[in-house]
Amino acid sequence: MPVNLAAPDPAQLHPVPGLRIGTAMAGVRKAGRRDLVVFAFDEGAAAAGVFTSNRYCAAPVQLCREHLAAGAGIRAFVINTGNANAGTGADGLARARRSCDALAALMHVAPAQVLPFSTGVIMETLPVERIEAALPAALASLRDDGWADAAAGIMTTDTLPKAASRRVTIDGRSVTVTGISKGAGMIRPNMATMLGFIATDAVIAPALLQPLIKEAADLSFNRITIDGDTSTNDSLLLVATRRAGHAEIGALDTAAGRTLRDAVVAVAQQLAQAIVRDGEGATKFITVRVDGGRDEAECRLAAYAIAHSPLVKTAFFASDPNLGRILAAVGYAGIGDLDQNLIDLHLDEVHVVRDGGRHPDYREEDGQRVMKRSEITVRVDLHRGAASALVWTCDLSHDYVSINADYRS
């Protein structure tokens, strides 16, 4: 059961002028589902992306990097679920290339103008011939308002499609930012989530897209973790169709740049949080905030140690205020000269630990009350500096084990 997350209302997903979306049933892994998604961009769109830091990156990720670097402009995405085309060696790269070639031929664009994305099982051969066969149907279904179908089409173990949309006004013109994402396991993005796509019609200098998507990723997808497993396929793309008709945004630190930046960050955060809310087996949405570090890096070490600890996560699942597990995680996070006697711990409004030990006023029933909530903030203060870090995660439940023990069957 996702945590405070509902399926998106298609009527609230504003189309982005200059972009159409189509889907088809390719039967990549299972028959009878729309597992192939195509994005088609009008000429003039600009794109930027951030990708997994996993050294075992998937063939489509390698090809995305190659095609973006070619600088020929991006005209299409070809996205399949059911097979990640990762751990597939040279053959996998050739198959990813074939999917781009096929779509490029049908659209009369160059193969380097197509970006491929795959998600699903690792180390299995991509049945690219099924994708090729289904591409004409996907192109025939292209439409402006295809976002909800696309969000459903890229799901793997997600229980709900994930989408977000914002409209802002820039120079008197309405500008749209709409995006979709998918999780829901192997989630500890170090660059982006498994798959995230955000599009806008804002007129923005193409060179600004990369810093914008990097910042948005750092403030959203790079702050979530479900199981600590950084995927082989993480990809987050930002495309600007540049059709909104306002004066070009030439810098992010202008009024127009900030308006767009805030809208992109808001969409990215909503999409990233949706992945955690729909994390495999998740029953609680946990915000981990670590303050008082010497630098952000050590705050992140502590925050991720808490967010990844199976003991902490099972305690949240059980609504059991076994909060010493949080202290233990801070202690082994790798901050070499940490002084345990300075540490404070709050669980929402409850002050649990002061000066490294149990707060004299802390009562078990207060911890119990907070642990029963579906959204909880853990706040640790290291009291050794002014830096902070924030991570969103979920609990570890029986359903996580069931889902991942049965994923391929």
* Residues assigned a catalytic role: 193
The answer to whether residue 136 forms part of the interface with a copy of itself (CB under 8 A) is no
Buried b (16+ CB within 10 A) or exposed e, 45-68: bbbbbbbbebeebbbbbbbbeebb
The answer to whether residue 385 forms part of the interface with a copy of itself (CB under 8 A) is no
108: its two tokens: 């009369």
CA dihedral 100, 106, 112, 116 (to 10 degrees): -30
Could you say which residues in the range 235-294 bind a copy of itself, by CB under 8 A? none
φ, ψ of residue 70 in degrees (nearest 5): -65, -30
Count of residues binding a copy of itself (CB under 8 A)? 72
Is 250 or 310 the residue whose CB approaches a copy of itself more closely?
310
Is 8 or 292 the residue whose CB approaches a copy of itself more closely?
292
Burial class from Cβ neighbours inside 10 Å (0-12, 13-18, 19+) for residue 110 reads middle
The overall longest dimension of the chain from CA atoms, in Å, is 72
Is 74 or 301 the residue whose CB approaches a copy of itself more closely?
301
Shortest approach of a copy of itself to residue 189 CB, angstroms? 10
The answer to whether residue 327 forms part of the interface with a copy of itself (CB under 8 A) is yes
Alpha helices (H) in 219-346, listed in sequence order: 255-277, 296-308, 310-317, 324-331
Nearest to 19 by CA among 203, 235, 174, 242: 242
Question: DSSP labels for 12-72?
Answer: GS---TTEEEEEE---SSSTTS--EEEEEE-TT-EEEEEE---SS--HHHHHHHHHHHHTS
Shortest approach of a copy of itself to residue 64 CB, angstroms? 16
The answer to whether residue 357 forms part of the interface with a copy of itself (CB under 8 A) is yes
Binder among 332, 361, 372, 374 for a copy of itself (CB under 8 A): 332
Shortest approach of a copy of itself to residue 402 CB, angstroms? 7
Binder among 53, 169, 254, 374 for a copy of itself (CB under 8 A): 53
Could you say which residues in the range 219-238 bind a copy of itself, by CB under 8 A? 227-232
Helix (H, G, I), strand (E, B) or coil at 246: coil
The answer to whether residue 409 forms part of the interface with a copy of itself (CB under 8 A) is yes
Binder among 9, 42, 91, 248 for a copy of itself (CB under 8 A): 91
Q: Which window, 54-62, 103-111, 145-153, 235-243, contacts a copy of itself (CB under 8 A)?
A: 54-62
The answer to whether residue 303 forms part of the interface with a copy of itself (CB under 8 A) is no
Is 127 or 206 the residue whose CB approaches a copy of itself more closely?
127
227: its two tokens: 């199981």
Q: Which window, 13-21, 85-93, 98-106, 214-222, contacts a copy of itself (CB under 8 A)?
A: 85-93
Q: How far apart are CA 260 and CA 269, in angstroms?
A: 14
Binder among 32, 55, 172, 365 for a copy of itself (CB under 8 A): 55
Q: How far apart are CA 264 and CA 138, in angstroms?
A: 27
Is 322 or 388 the residue whose CB approaches a copy of itself more closely?
322
Is 155 or 329 the residue whose CB approaches a copy of itself more closely?
329
Any residues with CB less than 8 A from the CB of 219 and at least 6 apart, and which?
265, 268, 269
Q: Which window, 90-98, 206-214, 246-254, 260-268, contacts a copy of itself (CB under 8 A)?
A: 90-98
The answer to whether residue 374 forms part of the interface with a copy of itself (CB under 8 A) is no
Helix (H, G, I), strand (E, B) or coil at 305: helix
Alpha-carbon torsion (135, 53, 120, 263), positive or negative: negative
Binder among 98, 173, 358, 369 for a copy of itself (CB under 8 A): 358
The answer to whether residue 92 forms part of the interface with a copy of itself (CB under 8 A) is yes
The answer to whether residue 365 forms part of the interface with a copy of itself (CB under 8 A) is no
